[in-house]
Amino acid sequence: MIKRQKAEEQSAQLGEAHAPAYRDNAEINAKIDDYIANNPKRWEYVQSMPKERLERAVILSDVQKTERQQKIANGVMQKLEKDPEMKKTYENLVSHLPENEREKAIVSIARTMGGIAARQQQSTSQGSVKV
């Protein structure tokens, strides 16, 4: 809440023509406020960071997220390369998509199906099948 109020004040100072429009999500703001309340030392640390350092920390978070997603996608594609029949099935599912979107769709479907298969296998090994 505090940081948002400062941002609103800065927007007013810059003028509405130059201020970007940010969406406001009450549920997310409540989570943030709760985290701040439970972690005051962390909040003080973040507030004390120089602007450039804070900006770079946000970008580092983005880079790490992208790297994680790429690592997962590579792992999924490696598993599909080992199973040509499964790969062909996924390729048939996404054949209607533009060429540049197919791999992303295959990874998404395979991750979803892999998660379902893993849960089914786990529940079967526990002696009960949940459908």
So where are the chain's domains? 72-131
- Structure confidence at residue 11 (pLDDT): 59
Spans of the chain below 50 pLDDT: 116, 119-120, 129-131
Alpha-carbon span 130 to 120, nearest angstrom: 7
- Structure confidence at residue 129 (pLDDT): 46
Q: Which residues of 92-105 are buried (b: 16+ CB within 10 A; e: fewer)?
A: eebeeeeeeebbeb
Task: Give the predicted TM-score (pTM) of the model.
Answer: 0.60
